[in-house]
Amino acid sequence: MMDRRAFIGTLTGGRLAAPLAAEGQRVGKAYRVGILATYPVGPFFRDPFMAALRDLGYVEGQNLALEIRSANNVPERVPALAVELVRLNVDVIVTGGDSEVAAAQQATRTIPIVMAPSGDPVRAGYVASLARPGGNTTGVSF
């Protein structure tokens, strides 16, 4: 069975983890992915995200469960939603903007966070460096 680190590697599209993706098709653990968003999560995000996971062998309802938490345009709700995902013990938290990354990091130091902040994650203090992010946060930056 694939461990959490291999799952995170395939989720972030790591080339080294790609050969392990076939293991995700085995019967066993269903990975729980928490999605934390300030705005409603629509098909513009969900459809390509799910297609990419399907390509890696993850199928919702079989070996994948999504826990989507949206603040519905009320940014003040994001920290409580991050705590809710932590209480659900998701395997990974996927975030969009800067406020979601910060809230997820405040909520957990152990659950992996995959981010896509709008700014500089090093300058914002989300990661130590792009080459070696450290901690439990990784992802991409624009």
Return mean pLDDT, the chain: 84
d(CA 78, CA 98): 11
**Of 91, 39, 93, 100, which is closest to residue 63 (Cα–Cα)?**
91
Q: Is the pLDDT of residue 138 over 60?
A: yes
What pLDDT does residue 22 have? 44
Q: Which of 3-7, 26-30, 44-48, 91-95 has the highest mean pLDDT?
A: 91-95
**Of 15, 66, 17, 19, which is closest to residue 45 (Cα–Cα)?**
66
Tens digits of residue pLDDT in 40-84 = 999 998 999 999 999 999 999 999 999 999 999 999 999 999 999
The DSSP annotation for 10-54 comes to HHTT-TTTGGGGGGGGSSSPPEEEEEEESS---HHHHHHHHHHHH
> What is the 8-class DSSP label of residue 129?
-
Average confidence (pLDDT) over 33-42 = 95
What is 4-139's CATH number?
3.40.50.2300
d(CA 4, CA 47): 23
- Going from N- to C-terminal start, the domains of the chain cover 4-139
